Amino acid sequence: MDLSHKKAFICDMDGVIYHGNRLLPGVTEFVGWLKREGKPFLFLTNSSERSPRELSQKLGRMGIEVPEENFYTSALATAAFLSSQMPGGSAYVIGEPGLVKALYDAGFSMNDVNPDYVVVGETKSYSYERITHAAQLVLKGARLVGTNPDLTGPSEIGIVPATRALIAPIELASGRTAYFIGKPNPLIMRHAVRVLGVKREDAVIVGDRMDTDIIAGIESEVETVLVLSGVTRREDIERYPYRPDHIIDGVGDIVPK
């Protein structure tokens, strides 16, 4: 596999660059190669917990220096979408500070009485009371939005529930279906290609999930690379009706030998 001719790289983070606070093998060499070759790259993550600045600082603590403009999250994509739909709207949020900040920065206010939207992202502050309140708000007319459709995600302790699993009780209790913004929604992929300033055929997306990263690339006509360092095992691939263009163990394999 030789991807050195590609002008730009879109990379997932969880399961591709790190697991929790553990950097994955080959990442230092991969990012170093991108910088040496002057290739534009964007870390495009479905995680909504952290802001680009926090993600930049997290990588910095692991020894990888990447400026915050090289990051784009599902929280930012969600905030941009909601702001375009209803400028100056309000939301009841089940999520972490990265999501709340993105919504504030987009001109939204927090509202737990009669919000325009109920927005759900990854969070550790998840409770029966908050699920119940969210379901009641949706039944009263609030629109239900999820930052991303991931059911699970990788962590240092193994596979953990992600946004789609967290939002499911609200969908079931309210009878409403959530709209998800993150990968594979073409909205976030179009933004990534636009930020990189290249044509889609000159870009490649690297991810560890068949149901978000790889399908996002296929539906956006961007070349796809599946890494086996995250949630997908080689034997899992056969369960899907589509295939990635390339399958590798980790991002270190992209660096020309």
Q: Which residues are catalytic?
A: 12, 14
Around Cβ 26, how many Cβ atoms within 10 Å?
A: 20
Measured in degrees and rounded to the nearest 5, phi and psi for residue 194 equal: -65, -45
What are the C-alpha distances in Å from 252 to residues 28, 82, 244?
A: 8, 37, 18
Distance CA 126, CA 219 (A): 33
Please name the residue that has the structure tokens 């060499």.
29
For 98, the token pair is 């990265």
Distance CA 64, CA 105 (A): 27
The amino acid at residue 223 is E
Phi-psi region of 239 (alpha: psi -120 to 50; beta: other; left: phi over 0): alpha
